[in-house]
Amino acid sequence: MPRPLALALAALLGVALCVAGLVVHRHVDASIPWGLVLTLATVVVTIRAAGYAVGKAGAYVLAGAYAVVLFLGTSSRPEGDYLVAADTLGYAFLLGSLAALVVGIVWTTRGAGHTVPGPAGGPRTLGS
């Protein structure tokens, strides 16, 4: 896949991931915010997967798109509507999302440079 197309797909995935997180983070069952837990875990793993598939740029693009949608989702509307409530769960989603973005990016950049046996017995570097 051409690199610009892969980066565009990473951005689209970041937007979709944040929209899904905005919808799902409020699901609570038995006093455990499963929606929030699953959303934040998915963010970290998806950023790592984008970094592995496309390189560091893919992780950065996905995280940037997620952050833009998160910022737009928290801005107030003239009608008084909002996507993230100003309560404990809403603040946990905002701060947890920012932490998940940082963890995903750090995990991607620190995981780079591991070598595995490549074709014809020569080593090849992962994560570049």
pLDDT digits (tens, 9 = 90+) for 93-115: 889 999 999 998 888 876 555 55
What is the number of structural domains in the chain? 1
Q: Which residues are within 8 A (CB) of 24 and not within 5 positions of it... i.e. 6 or more apart?
A: 35, 38, 39
What's the half-sphere exposure (Cβ side, CA atoms, 13 Å) at 63? 25
In DSSP terms, 117 is beta-bridged to 123
For residue 119, being part of any structural domain is answered with no
Could you give the C-alpha distances from 8 to 33, 48, 67, 106, in angstroms and in order? Answer: 31, 16, 15, 21
For residue 21, being part of any structural domain is answered with yes
Residues of the chain above pLDDT 70, percent:
82
Host H or E run for residue 125: strand 123-125
State the alpha helices, DSSP H only, in 25-87. 34-54, 56-74
For residue 124, being part of any structural domain is answered with no
In the prediction, which pLDDT does 78 show? 74
**Domain boundaries, position 70:** 3-113
pTM of the prediction?
0.77
For residue 126, being part of any structural domain is answered with no
Comparison of pLDDT for 1 and 63, the residue scoring more: 63
